[in-house]
């Protein structure tokens, strides 16, 4: 498959827009759309290709890179690198202006991910800021977010509300209404409709200092 077609397919499968991927690369929002539909640029720059492959969880060769420069090839099949994004999910007033830029990665055992029912290609790690989810999540913790499209169930999610990125416990109230709940009872629940917010992904793991 042509690298352009593969990129479009991978972005669609992950539920990520080409514009957001372009911003992750610190490019114009139309950069990848033009690459795919107009062939401009003719090929991805090496650093852009590396970042995209890491974020999407595929070998670089799928995106037009050489076989000996692959993302998964460095992991000898037993480990998966999950991208750490330069993004803050607020457990407080709200974090805006997230650029989704990859700056590092966590390495997870492929076997452990499989045992947890997780797919490394749909995972990313982001920071928590604020105190509204204490003691469950503390400022500075990093959370693993499962971005697969799946039926909703109550739990801790990263959501986008009014251009703010929040980490909250999301509970269905029925009738298309939801409550965004904080673990810290000093913060009142936020009542929203299904059209008022977007669920980015479910929080499935956390890291943090003891």
Both tokens of 22, joined, read: 């372009």
Exposed (0-12), middle (13-18) or buried (19+): which is 195, by Cβ within 10 Å?
exposed
pLDDT of amino acid 27: 86
Same domain, 110 and 137: yes
Half-sphere exposure of 123 (CA within 13 A, CB side): 24
Same domain, 95 and 183: yes
Both tokens of 77, joined, read: 């099949």
Number of domains in the chain: 2
Same domain, 201 and 98: yes
Residue 98's pLDDT band (cuts 50, 70, 90): very low
Sign of CA dihedral 102, 109, 115, 139: negative
Q: What's the pTM?
A: 0.65
Same domain, 30 and 57: yes
Same domain, 168 and 201: yes
Domain-ending residue, one of 75, 102, 117: 75
SS3 202: strand
pLDDT of amino acid 125: 92
Tell me: the pLDDT tens digits for 110-140? 888 888 998 888 899 999 999 999 999 999 9
Domain that holds residue 45: 3-75
Rama region for 107: left / alpha / beta (φ>0; ψ in -120 to 50; rest):
beta
Tell me: the pLDDT tens digits for 39-58? 888 888 888 888 888 787 77
pLDDT of amino acid 24: 81
Same domain, 90 and 173: yes
Same domain, 103 and 65: no
Domain of 151, CATH number, reads: 2.10.109.10
Same domain, 174 and 70: no
Same domain, 22 and 40: yes
Same domain, 62 and 107: no
Same domain, 115 and 84: yes
Residue 73's pLDDT band (cuts 50, 70, 90): very low
Q: Dmax of the chain from CA atoms?
A: 54
Strands in 32-189 per DSSP E:
79-90, 102-109, 123-129, 142-146, 155-161, 164-174, 177-181
| 193-141-136 Cα angle (round to 5) | 60
Same domain, 104 and 61: no
Domain-ending residue, one of 32, 56, 75: 75
- Centre a 10 Å sphere on the Cβ of residue 77 and count the other Cβ atoms it contains: 8
């Amino acid at each position: 498959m042509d690298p352009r077609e593969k990129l479009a397919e991978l972005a669609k499968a992950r539920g990520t827009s080409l514009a957001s991927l372009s911003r992750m690369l610190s490019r114009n929002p139309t950069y990848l759309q033009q690459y795919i539909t107009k062939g401009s640029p003719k090929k991805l720059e090496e650093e852009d290709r590396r970042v995209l492959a890491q974020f999407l969880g595929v070998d670089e060769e799928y995106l037009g890179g050489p076989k000996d420069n692959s993302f998964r090839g460095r992991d000898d099949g037993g480990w998966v690198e999950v991208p750490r994004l330069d993004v803050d999910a607020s457990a407080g007033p709200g974090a805006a202006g997230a650029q989704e830029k990859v700056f590092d990665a966590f390495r997870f055992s492929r076997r452990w991910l499989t045992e947890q029912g997780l797919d490394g290609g749909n995972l990313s790690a982001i920071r928590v800021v604020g105190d509204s989810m204490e003691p469950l999540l503390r400022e500075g913790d990093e959370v693993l977010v499962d971005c697969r499209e799946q039926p909703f169930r109550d739990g801790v999610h990263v959501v986008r509300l009014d251009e703010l990125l929040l980490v909250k416990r999301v509970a269905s109230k029925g009738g298309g209404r939801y409550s965004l709940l904080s673990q810290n009872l000093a913060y009142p629940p936020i009542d929203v409709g299904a059209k008022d917010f977007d669920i980015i992904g479910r929080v499935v793991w956390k890291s943090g200092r003891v």
